[in-house]
């Protein structure tokens, strides 16, 4: 391997979502000699700022966006507390009377941080990242390239690189695939040659939308484990919250209901602390499942973010994991000019963080489909124990904020 050639790495990023744009900006900062091209099918003048999809960002992700100059503090709602509970009956009557209904509370105050994370619309994340990337390309047009409106049709492995077909064939030293989407029960078209991923259909649907709370506590995120699946409220501004409501898909109980009926049911689900939900928006439905690449790399192609793993939203960690993928890859490339060696080590370096999050979300998601007697009680006991064991709870909070370090 020629170190001089590798110092001027020719890097292609496929996908200009949050993870792809973050990777491009990180590479522009940490790899000053690298040529960096970001490809995306959408045209550069397409306005993405109004995309209302809501995402939960960990504190680590907020700090990364601040570092990249792409953080919109005025549009974000900080999360200062997370309250997780389980809908009764979750324990035996006698046990519940003794320990109370199981719940876990994690607060920024206890963890001595300004916030646990924040809630922001997808457009409020992507638009500032895209502006920052465009500005970087304008400052250094000789090495940073904005390849919007150019859909990547395929990737072909080469002996010491990868050929990208985006209308014309071009050679790159490394291609990072960062485009992905929600889980689909239909086979998805794959960019690149990696072997079939690990997949599991949870036979659940997520209904997402916005609710209005009668007496919202600012900054509190709620998750409620019900017998049908988890339901979550992420705090927004002006007394609203983003709703994620997971139920079985085989006999979906939400689908036949109108908005008034859905609101009535939602008011029976959440912890009494939430108070009354006074309005609900029309809800959209998404299929839920796991799709995780068995390996991140093949030749000179790497997958990160949703292209590497699509997770159940029970922990709200998909984007955060993807941003950590981007950060760790660029850091490894900045420390070692040997790309082949970086890629060989990447699997081991990202493994603990990646597979711990995949395993945790998969376990929780599958637990709602178990018909075993006492499964709910066991989950409730685990929550009660977690709340009582403060060092363990704090370690979990740090894992959710920053990943495995």
- Asked if the model's pLDDT at residue 183 lies above 80, the reply is no
Least confident residue range of 194-198, 281-285, 378-382: 194-198
Mean pLDDT to the nearest integer, 294-303: 92
Q: Give the model confidence (pLDDT) of 316-354 as tens digits.
A: 788 999 999 999 999 999 999 899 999 999 989 999 999
The band of 374, judged by pLDDT with boundaries at 50, 70 and 90, is: low
The reported pLDDT for the residue numbered 113 is 96
Domain with CATH 3.30.9.10 in the chain: 73-119+199-288+370-402
Highest-pLDDT range among 68-77, 194-203, 380-389: 68-77
Domain with CATH 3.50.50.60 in the chain: 3-49+122-196+293-363
- CATH architecture designation of domain 3-49+122-196+293-363: 3-Layer(bba) Sandwich (3.50)
The band of 152, judged by pLDDT with boundaries at 50, 70 and 90, is: very high
Q: Give the model confidence (pLDDT) of 93-126 as tens digits.
A: 445 555 567 889 999 999 999 999 999 999 999 9
The band of 403, judged by pLDDT with boundaries at 50, 70 and 90, is: confident
The band of 4, judged by pLDDT with boundaries at 50, 70 and 90, is: very low
The reported pLDDT for the residue numbered 350 is 92
The CATH homologous superfamily to which domain 73-119+199-288+370-402 belongs is: D-Amino Acid Oxidase, subunit A, domain 2 (3.30.9.10)
Residue 54 φ then ψ, to 5°: -100, 135
Among 179, 144, 123, residue whose Cα is nearest residue 31? 144
CA–CA dist 143, 36 (Å, integer)? 6
Sign of CA dihedral 22, 23, 28, 32: positive
The reported pLDDT for the residue numbered 96 is 52
Distances (CA, A) of 383 to 220, 225, 246: 18, 11, 20
| Average pLDDT taken over every residue of the chain | 87
Q: Give the model confidence (pLDDT) of 228-239 as tens digits.
A: 889 999 999 999
Q: Which residues contact 181 (CB under 8 A, 6 or more apart)?
A: 188, 306, 310
CA–CA dist 120, 243 (Å, integer)? 13
Tabulate helix, strand, coil % of the chain (nearest 5): 35, 30, 35
Beta strand pairing call for 10-14 and 174-177: parallel
Among 123, 115, 140, residue whose Cα is nearest residue 24? 140
The reported pLDDT for the residue numbered 40 is 95
Q: CA 220 from chain center: how many Å?
A: 19
């Amino acid at each position: 391997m020629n170190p001089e050639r590798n110092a001027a790495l020719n890097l292609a990023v496929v996908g200009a979502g949050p993870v792809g744009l973050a990777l491009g900006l990180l590479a522009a900062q940490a790899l000053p000699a690298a040529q960096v091209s970001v490809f995306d099918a959408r045209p550069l003048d397409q306005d993405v700022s109004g995309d209302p999809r809501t995402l939960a960002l960990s504190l680590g992700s907020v700090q990364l966006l601040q570092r990249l100059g792409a953080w919109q503090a005025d549009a974000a709602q900080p999360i200062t507390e997370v309250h997780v509970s389980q809908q009764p009956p979750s324990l035996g009557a006698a046990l519940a009377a003794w320990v109370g209904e199981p719940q876990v509370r994690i607060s920024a105050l206890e963890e001595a941080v300004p916030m646990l994370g924040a809630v922001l619309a997808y457009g409020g994340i992507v638009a500032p990242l895209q502006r920052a990337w465009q500005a970087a390309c304008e400052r250094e047009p000789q090495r940073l390239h904005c390849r919007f409106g150019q859909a990547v049709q395929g990737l072909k492995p080469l002996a010491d690189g990868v050929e990208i077909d985006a209308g014309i064939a071009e050679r790159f030293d490394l291609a990072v695939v960062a485009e992905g989407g929600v889980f689909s029960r239909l086979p998805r078209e794959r960019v690149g040659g990696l072997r079939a991923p690990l997949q599991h259909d949870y036979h659940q649907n997520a209904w997402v939308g916005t609710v209005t709370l009668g007496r919202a506590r600012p900054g509190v995120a709620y998750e409620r484990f019900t017998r049908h699946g988890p339901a979550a409220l992420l705090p927004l501004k002006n007394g609203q919250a983003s709703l994620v409501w997971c139920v079985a898909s085989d006999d979906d109980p939400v689908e036949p209901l109108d908005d008034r009926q859905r609101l009535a049911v939602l008011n029976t689900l959440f912890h009494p602390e939430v108070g009354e939900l006074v309005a609900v928006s029309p809800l959209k439905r998404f299929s839920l499942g796991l799709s995780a690449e068995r390996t991140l790399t093949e030749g000179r192609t790497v997958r990160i973010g949703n292209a590497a793993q699509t997770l159940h939203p029970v922990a709200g960690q998909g984007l955060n994991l993807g941003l950590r993928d981007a950060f760790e890859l660029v850091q490894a490339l900045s420390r070692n000019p040997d790309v082949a060696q970086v890629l060989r080590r990447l699997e081991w370096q990202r493994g603990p963080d990646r597979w711990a999050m995949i395993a945790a979300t998969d376990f929780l998601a599958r637990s709602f489909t178990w018909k075993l007697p006492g499964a709910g009680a066991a989950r409730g006991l685990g929550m009660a124990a977690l709340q009582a064991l403060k060092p363990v709870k704090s370690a979990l909070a740090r894992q959710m904020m920053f990943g495995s370090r």
